[in-house]
């Protein structure tokens, strides 16, 4: 059980409205350093919406998010600088090589350019380092997107269906990345329909928080 002083990320009574649809309401969660939370639930239950709310991409209708006890609404830019969000789109530049894309993301996020080589190795991307994005397969693009997590070096990872398009070897590499990140004190929240093993992760069925009209 996390004590109040142990909590790094906390959400209280989060409620999300998309258009005229109340997607979920009353979501509470808390994670300390090294913690992991796995979001489950049927399609449309609100897993992606919750991740986007936590990433600051959607404003919640109600509730608040706190980072180490401080409401993030007071300094959203500082909070966003602590997180890395992986959505459904891989956002790989077609004209840039894999190495160029990772260098770009390292520079953009303030991460060290020296991490590019480590990221290439972690996702077995060295043979593709000089290949342009337009020439990559869907699975290869997903691996490049995952490598961005390593070059950005953010404590909070928000991952929306991260195993989509990955083969078994790449899933294993992702699981190793997550384990290393947690061992260093990082936090992970991931949505999944299965196929991703995160030992000792807390499960959260987002379907339990659906509003009656959305259920």
Q: How much is the pLDDT for 186?
A: 97
The rounded mean pLDDT for the chain is 91
pLDDT at 41: 87
What is the arithmetic mean of pLDDT over 129-158? 95
Residue 213 has pLDDT above 60, yes or no: no
Q: Strand 187-191 relative to strand 36-40: parallel, antiparallel, unpaired?
A: parallel
Question: Has residue 211 got a pLDDT over 80?
Answer: no
pLDDT of residue 212: 56
Q: In three state form, how does the secondary structure of 26-62 look?
A: EEEEEEECCCEEEEECCCCCCHHHHHHHHCCCCCCCE
Residue 84: per-residue pLDDT: 95
pTM of the model: 0.92
The domain at 1-82+191-215 falls in which architecture?
A: 3-Layer(aba) Sandwich (3.40)
Which one is predicted more confidently, 5 or 103?
103
What's the mean pLDDT in 59-73? 95
Give the pLDDT band (50/70/90) at residue 194.
Answer: confident
């Amino acid at each position: 059980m996390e004590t109040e002083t142990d909590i790094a990320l906390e959400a209280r009574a989060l409620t999300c409205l998309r258009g005229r649809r109340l997607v979920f309401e009353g979501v509470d969660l808390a994670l300390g350093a090294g913690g992991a939370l796995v979001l489950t639930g049927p399609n449309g239950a609100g897993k992606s919406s919750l991740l986007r709310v936590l990433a600051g991409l959607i404003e919640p209708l109600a509730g608040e998010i706190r980072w180490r006890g401080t409401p993030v609404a007071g300094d959203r830019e500082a909070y966003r600088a602590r997180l890395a969000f992986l959505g459904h789109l891989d956002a790989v530049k077609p004209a840039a090589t894999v190495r160029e894309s990772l260098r770009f993301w390292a520079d953009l996020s303030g991460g060290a350019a020296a991490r590019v080589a480590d990221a290439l190795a972690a996702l077995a991307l060295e043979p593709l380092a000089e290949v342009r994005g337009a020439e990559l397969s869907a699975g290869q693009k997903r691996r490049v997107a995952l490598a961005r997590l390593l070059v950005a070096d953010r404590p909070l990872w928000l991952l929306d269906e991260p195993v989509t398009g990955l083969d078994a070897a790449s899933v294993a590499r992702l699981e190793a990345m997550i384990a290393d990140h947690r061992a260093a004190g990082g936090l992970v929240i991931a949505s999944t329909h299965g196929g991703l093993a995160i030992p000792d992760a807390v499960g959260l069925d987002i379907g339990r928080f659906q509003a009656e009209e959305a259920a």
